[in-house]
Amino acid sequence: MEIAPGVFDLTPPTRGYLKGGYVHAFLIVHGSELILIDTLYDADAGVILDQIQRLGKNVRDIKHILMTHGHRAHLGGLAKLKELSGAPVYSHAWEADIVAGERKQQGVSLRPMKGIQAWPILFFGSLLGPLANHIPCPVDHLIDEGAQIGPVRVLHTPGHTPGHLAFYLPEQRTLFTGDAFVTWPLICPGWPNAMLNKKQTWQSLRRLAELDVEVIGGGHGAPITKDGGKILRDLSARGNV
């Protein structure tokens, strides 16, 4: 689905709940090149490959793969897509050794939480952690606040994880938030049980709310295609830290 000019939402057409909690990835068409943000849950990358083909593109058209953070739901297809495309992988330094399989991702809290629909995913993901690891993939480029990849501006948005990144397309007024902001199971700054630093999370959300944004592609749940900036501002105003 095209959510802004040249920006496409890539999401599992079925079983989305079981595939990382309605996780989403995004594709940017920049001239003859494709820029991919996150890689969904499935290791075979089948959903992304199918949707690229439907757009009349080839996997070799992917020239950059940008990772918001090192959680399995966002890393699943990374190794396969890098193998097929030859594209370099970008992440924050704090996330890079997790992406490369050299360090485990952080654990999550299993206390009951608002947005209870996500809790079973966190519970079984924690229980089956060793069986649910992504296929390791080396990171080619470490990026941080202010970096630019083609038309994409990089924002460091710690809180959900220390090295979490968001990506901004100023011309399209489109923001890719990863898990710094989600719309499932409710509109919130990430799942609270998978949030390492609550104070940083709200600080990052307030920074995002200052941007000129119409469209938001979040890490989990349907994209917002209208009034994204207002939704961020209204949410950030409710932060209590």
Amino acid at residue number 151? P
Q: Please give the Cα distance from 97 to 107 (Å, whole number).
A: 16
Residue where the block lists tokens 């360090």: 103
Q: pTM of the prediction?
A: 0.92
207-223 pLDDT per residue, tens: 999 999 999 999 999 99
| The pLDDT of residue 241 is above 50 | no
| The pLDDT of residue 98 is above 70 | yes
Q: Establish whether the linkage from the previous residue to 185 is cis, with ω within 30° of 0.
A: yes
Spell out the alpha helix ranges (H) of the chain.
Answer: 46-54, 72-75, 78-85, 93-99, 119-127, 198-209, 228-236
50-82 pLDDT per residue, tens: 999 999 999 999 999 999 999 989 999 999 999
pLDDT at residue 234, rounded to an integer: 96
Report which secondary-structure segment, H or E, holds 141.
strand 141-142
**Maximum CA extent, the chain:** 47
DSSP E strand stretches across 47-108: 62-66, 89-91
- Ordered structural domains, the chain, with CATH: 2-103+113-236 (3.60.15.10)
Q: Please give the Cα distance from 151 to 36 (Å, whole number).
A: 12
Among the residue ranges 30-44, 55-69, 141-155, 187-201, the one predicted with the least confidence is 187-201
φ, ψ dihedrals at 117, nearest 5° = -60, -25
8, 51 in Cβ contact below 8 A?
yes
8-17 pLDDT per residue, tens: 999 988 878 8
